[in-house]
Chains A and B, each alone.
Chain A
Amino acid sequence: MQTLTVALAQIAPRLGMLADNLERHHLLIEEARGRGAGLVVFPELGLTGYQLQDLASEVAMRLDDARLADLAAATKDLSVVVSFVEESADHRLFIAAALLEDGRIRHVHRKLFLPTYGLFDERRFFAAGDLLRATPSRLGVGVGIAICEDFWHLTVPQVLALDGAQILINVSSSPGHDLAATNEVGLGTATSWRTLMRTYAQLTTSLVIFCNRVGVDESISFWGGSEVIAPNGRALFSAPLFEEGLFTVEVPLADLRRERLALPLLRDERPELQARELMRIVAERAGLAPDSTADDLAEAGLDVAPGDPAPEPIGFRRGSVG
């Protein structure tokens, strides 16, 4: 396997200005091609901006939209990840990211986890996706695509890697907050994300590509800091915070094989064990099976019996001996 040139389009999309953002995507795809890129990654909702609220339905595109076909047509001999509001045939709106390759839409990922807490309100405006699948690609290795909050759930990078992805791509519109002086790079959000990316790369022995936007929507500032992390958990590239740019990074794909042979974590994963235990937990939570880690008298779905004056730690049954 040869070296892959990855282009990270750390842009500031214009909120609700689909035509402007489409034009910008076309220009940057050509610029990246000129710089030898094999893979170009744009951030979450790069075609529409993030804080859309009721504008979401007005900028939504069906997968057969001519504007998407035009973008796809620009991807001959190229892999490009773009993100937009997708309207399904039954008129649900999704935050989607599509892998465009050789003139067509190769794969679409619909955001699975929609943060609706703190400064986020995504569930009000969007439907959550139901599919988590890696996809083959013209790059010769499997690709797994996730969107922002998806990567705050361990399941996502793990399932994608088990499903054959060797390149994990996360596209984000991550708002920066927490300026406490004690943070690694002066921003709490960035510190957390940097930790996650390195951990996922190492634990899945995959190449992790993170593309985060910059710019401002309403009150929210997006911090950029896009990264490429090698399968050993080391950063190959870290883009500057808060600055727009098209950044290209040379990635030796042969490192994937070396790392997976040296550290066969994926080979040793036990998906059947995980699936079995998860099915048990699902059944117990639904009250369809006795909860093996709850008090004897606890009601279905609850861990602690009502009126228990001093509940013992969950997982240790009364009277049981270690």
Chain B
Amino acid sequence: MSAVAAVDGTVLFELPDELAIDTDVARKVIAQFIRGQLDQAGFERVVLGLSGGIDSALVAFLVAEAIGADKLLAVLMPYRTSSDASRSDAEEVVRRLPGASGEVVDISPMVDPFFASQADASPLRRGNFMARQRMAVLYDRSVTWGGLVVGTGNKTESLIGYTTLFGDSACAFNPIGDLYKSQVRQLAAAIGVPEAIIRKAPSADLWPGQTDETEAGFTYPELDRLLFWRVDKRRTDDEMAELGLSPEVVAKVDRMIATSEFKRQVPPIAKLGPRTAGVDYLYPRRRPGSARGG
């Protein structure tokens, strides 16, 4: 584990050594990926939900680097209990990307009437509902802005299932979905995301004071390191123990991965006809004739 220093010399974040990536190459690959996705779909613009957190801030910077900030619409979608800090951090991202368009859509009037007669609705239900309202707003803006919705979910939250199906995970393409949270931080620092955003505790901001790490029970550097060895490097139980990873935590994370497998896949279609999408009808998402206006 290595400490990555901020400009003032204090620790910005902890980075497991085995997760360190070449950020120059990552930026090249991601820029090419973003341009390629848009080109194949016949789009030039991108719409993004900007929360004030590090993931969406990084994606905003990456999109601006790939195609220019003027092609980016960042939509801030606070709920009435969302933190003011999130809002001001998101606004700071828009300010740092000259030419980018920003819009605020308060989702409270979309959410509150639905739950008005269901006062006992759990925070989980409310959080999922909010995530899906935000998705609905982004896909509407995809039409008015004429841009593709870019995803901002990272590999850590995807693997443990810390996402809302058809909510925050819904997108046309995702440039950071194969980067662990620690790598998101590394790339964010390299591309110039404000340090205040890199430094603060990650949060879904579903209720005041919520943070990912207190909810999950372990820190991101620990979790990322565990996932890297378990998933990417296929280490066995014994080998995980030799790496100093607690068998109890490994077992817990294994369960989180297994129970969320469905969130990472497209829904199965009952096989009935001669050719079935996703089974034996297999085409690239974009092909001759599929590009808008192409």
Contacts and interface: CB of A to CB of B under 8 A. Distances in A.
B21 interface: yes
A52 B26 CA distance: 25
Contact of B22 (A15, A52, A187, A221): A187
Given A54-B283, A181-B20, A186-B22, A176 B29 contact: yes
A241 interface: yes
Determine the main DSSP class of A at the interface with B: loop
A53 B282 contact: yes
Interface string B13-42: 000001011101110110011011100100
Contacts, number: 65
Interface in A3-23: 12, 15-17
Interface in A127-183: 176, 179-183
Question: Of residues A179, A183, A214, which shows the largest number of chain B Cβ atoms within 10 Å of its Cβ?
Answer: A179
A221 B21 contact: no
Contacts of B292: none
Given A186-B25, A241-B28, A218 B282 contact: no
A52 B284 contact: yes
Interface in A174-198: 176, 179-183, 185-187
4 A-B pairs with the lowest CB-CB distances in the bound complex, closest first: A216-B36, A186-B22, A186-B25, A181-B20
B114 interface: no
B120 to A, nearest CB: 42
Contact of B282 (A54, A182, A241): A54
A221 B288 contact: no
A215 interface: yes
Contacts of B35: 216
Contacts of A186: 22, 24-25
A12 B39 CA distance: 12
B287 interface: yes
Given A216-B36, A216-B37, A179 B284 contact: no
B40 to A, nearest CB: 7
Contacts of B283: 53-55
Given A16-B284, A54-B281, A54-B283, A215 B32 contact: yes
Given A179-B21, A179-B29, A51 B284 contact: yes
Contacts of B18: 180
B15 to A, nearest CB: 10
Interface residues of A, number: 27
Interface of B: 18, 20-22, 24-26, 28-29, 32-33, 35-37, 40, 281-288
A294 B24 CA distance: 50
Given A215-B36, A216-B33, A15 B26 contact: no
B287 A180 contact: no
Interface in A33-58: 51-55
23 contacts: A12-B36, A15-B40, A15-B284, A16-B284, A17-B288, A51-B284, A52-B284, A53-B283, A53-B284, A54-B283, A55-B284, A55-B287, A176-B25, A179-B29, A180-B20, A180-B21, A181-B20, A181-B22, A182-B20, A216-B32, A216-B33, A216-B40, A221-B32
